[in-house]
Structure 1
Amino acid sequence: MAESASSLSGDWRHNKLLKGVFAVTGIMVTLVTYGILQEKIMRVPYGVNQEYFKYSLFLVFCNRITTSAVSAGALLASNKALHRVAPIYKYCLVSVTNILTTTCQYEALKYVSFPVQTLSKCAKMIPVMVWGTLIMQKRYQGYDYLLAFLVTLGCSIFILYPAEFDMSPYNRGGENTVWGILLMIGYLGFDGFTSTFQDKMFKSYDMEIHNQIFYTTLCSCVLSLTGLFVQGHLIPAVEFVYRHNDCFFDIALLSTVATASQFFISYTIRNFGALTFATIMTTRQLVSIMLSCLWFAHPVSSEQWIGAVVVFGSLYTKSFLRKAPQKTSSSEPVQNGDSNNVKEIP
């Protein structure tokens, strides 16, 4: 009997280990690949004429139409209804702010390096806390504010003390670096609102994760396509991709890994909880920055190393100090390690 119990315990630990390896590998591969691809598409020229891809909204459209199709398939495969649970304007509101978030993220790469952009994302704790107070009437403890301050301080050091000769091709001489900073501030503000409002929708309605993803990404497809028509960028973007087959491959792979990452995010949270997910995401950001510095030869100043240590040290401290959340039913909102942040949609 004891041997049988020991065998069952060993099998459980083995299965848990395999699931953990699967989750970590999936998140790291998809999101790190996503980060490298977005930098390559926006900062590396294509073809003999050295043309740069400039159509950020086209990337948003490709990502969203892929995710929308997959989420619809997931709902149908699980025999879940495709009908709306919340008013359509609420899905549209999430969609609009999510489009603005992603567009700011891509556009920022024209003016700042990927390591700066990625580390700046860590500072979203403050806008999330602000929106959480305004929308959800949440209250935060003193150590939350302290950790948010330390992360923001580290990000500020990283941005304000860049290494020399790390200029974007759109930013010769560094005169437009301020645009990169403003775009990242826009990213943080819009992203904080998006995740907070997503959380509010999950708590206000009996809503499946794929239901929200389907309708918000469907709205994003319509809005981003409309934006491309209004700006007159749809035809030039298609022509660019037609001229450069390697760009088409990069965009197709970007949309694929962005969509696949959603599966691994949901899988990890469902099986291991928010605490483990937060730690994996922090590690992913660190690995992405290190790979970007090696792959694209970004120089890093000593001040930036100090800023990075402050940021990631604070984030890991936050992960280890956070109490493990209680398990929730599948109909309840699923949160990652950041307050109010339901899930990250690239």
Structure 2
Amino acid sequence: MSNTMIGYWKESRSAKLLFSVAGIMLTLLVYGVLQEKIMRVPYGDDKEYFTSSLFLVLCNRLTTSAVSAGFLLISKKTLAPAAPMSYYCTISISNLLTTTCQYEALKYVSFPVQTLAKCAKMIPVMVWSTIIMQKKYNGKDYFFAMLVTLGCALFILYPASGDINPYQKGRESTVRGVSLMIGYLGFDGFTSTFQDKLFKGYDMEIHNQIFYTTLCSTFLCFPVLVYRGHLLLAISFMLRHQDCIIDVLLLSTVATASQFFISYTIRTFGALTFAAIMITRQLVSIILSCLWFSHPLSMEQWFGAVIVFGTLYAKSFLRKTPQLPLTQLNGADKPQGSINS
């Protein structure tokens, strides 16, 4: 291969990485702000809260499924599944549990706590990658992962308000919030790792995977909402508070856009490289949320944040050989991921 071809490959790969970073950062930053606004800020003069997280998941999946189907039709790609439907359903179920835990956790933890806690998904991703893809990590990878987890623990356990959520006080709230975040980390790590496995194991278009996974999610969400009576309640709420309709439409739009950036990144660079891209986004999200929603941070939380992001950036600078594939360079720096983080 000539030097010209090698230079072109590097430039092309760099351009693709820049495209992925810009797309993920923009869509997920907006997504995070809208998510917190819908779930945490009351609507109307009666100060009524929107409570149906599963309805938001349904709206997101319906929008994404329709857009991905449109892309397949316009590009004249086949609508036939590239992998067994059971694999799509596996991703769908895992992603539904991931997203539901994420939304529900916002009722018990503040957004900065949730965002920084996502950095602790490095260990779940390493575990799932070892189980599903037989990847191996060295002692340095685990050391970095433990440092990040320590920083996340400090951030969660020592909030400025004395509780991980200033709106939900008490030990029960803390236990529920932490439990939901643990569930989120486990399911999310599995989702992105299994996505990576499918992209590597099948000749699969990005839109193909997105279409079938979101279609499965839609079929799973709808009957549950109807059975629990939440569908009509959510629609009634939005009719009473029409500004909520705009928020939900915007949320679904940016969620759909993020789907394509996330799947493109995982398919091009791998699930763990996607995690590395998420680190800066999470730091910016925390700062933005603190400014927008006036979340105070304690000294211990700032110290925990320094440990987390300092470790992750140090790992980035200490990587051995720039020529290695990005999935190896960022072995443990893992969202959200997955289909919606």
Task: Give TM-score scaled by structure 2 length.
Answer: 0.86
Whether 1:127 aligns to 2:124 is yes
Whether 1:295 aligns to 2:292 is yes
Distance 1:97 1:265, change over 3 A: closer
CA shift for structure 1 position 28: 2.6
Whether 1:158 aligns to 2:155 is yes
Whether 1:33 aligns to 2:27 is no
SS at match of 1:32: helix
CA shift for structure 1 position 197: 1.8
Match of 1:281 in 2: 278
Whether 1:101 aligns to 2:103 is no
CA shift for structure 1 position 209: 1.8
Give the unaligned 5+ runs of structure 1: none
Whether 1:221 aligns to 2:207 is no
Residues 36-55 of structure 1: matches in 2 within 5 Å? 36-55=33-52
SS at match of 1:176: helix
Match of 1:204 in 2: 201
SS at match of 1:46: coil
Q: Would you say the 8 A contact 1:275–1:319 is kept in 2?
A: no
Match of 1:344 in 2: 338
Distance 1:223 1:339, change over 3 A: farther
Distance 1:129 1:107, change over 3 A: same
SS at match of 2:79: coil
Q: Would you say the 8 A contact 1:269–1:336 is kept in 2?
A: no
Match of 2:183 in 1: 186
Alpha-carbon deviations, 1:68-119, whole Å to 9, x = none? 1111122222221010121211111110110000000000000000000001
* Pairing partner for 1:242 from 239, 256, 261: 239
* Pairing partner for 1:315 from 306, 312, 315: 312
* Pairing partner for 2:169 from 152, 169, 172: 172
Q: Would you say the 8 A contact 2:278–2:334 is kept in 1?
A: no
Query: C-alpha separation between the residues in 1 aligned to 2:245 and 2:298?
Result: 35
Amino acid at match of 2:175: V
Amino acid at match of 2:86: Y
Residues 63-142 of structure 1: matches in 2 within 5 Å? 63-142=60-139
Q: Would you say the 8 A contact 2:191–2:338 is kept in 1?
A: no
SS at match of 1:172: coil
Alpha-carbon deviations, 1:147-206, whole Å to 9, x = none? 110111100010011111666476134541110000000001111111222222223222
Query: C-alpha separation between the residues in 2 aligned to 1:336 and 1:143?
Result: 12
CA shift for structure 1 position 283: 1.3
Q: Percent identity?
A: 67
* Pairing partner for 1:143 from 116, 140, 143: 140
Query: C-alpha separation between the residues in 1 aligned to 2:165 and 2:275?
Result: 30
Query: C-alpha separation between the residues in 1 aligned to 2:192 and 2:301?
Result: 28
Distance 1:151 1:28, change over 3 A: same
Query: C-alpha separation between the residues in 1 aligned to 2:82 and 2:267?
Result: 22
Q: Would you say the 8 A contact 2:275–2:335 is kept in 1?
A: no
Alpha-carbon deviations, 1:307-346, whole Å to 9, x = none? 0011111122233344557679xxxx9x987578796322
Q: Would you say the 8 A contact 1:129–1:339 is kept in 2?
A: no
Indicate the larger mover: 52-61 or 168-177.
168-177
Query: C-alpha separation between the residues in 1 aligned to 2:330 and 2:255?
Result: 17
Distance 1:180 1:29, change over 3 A: same
Distance 1:28 1:341, change over 3 A: closer
Query: C-alpha separation between the residues in 1 aligned to 2:333 and 2:279?
Result: 14
Query: C-alpha separation between the residues in 1 aligned to 2:211 and 2:268?
Result: 23
SS at match of 1:252: helix
Q: Would you say the 8 A contact 1:113–1:166 is kept in 2?
A: no
Distance 1:278 1:168, change over 3 A: closer
Distance 1:92 1:336, change over 3 A: farther
Q: Would you say the 8 A contact 1:65–1:217 is kept in 2?
A: yes
SS at match of 2:207: helix
Alpha-carbon deviations, 1:242-286, whole Å to 9, x = none? 111111111110110111123444666789998986554211111
Task: Give TM-score scaled by structure 1 length.
Answer: 0.85
Q: Would you say the 8 A contact 1:163–1:300 is kept in 2?
A: yes
Give the unaligned 5+ runs of structure 2: none
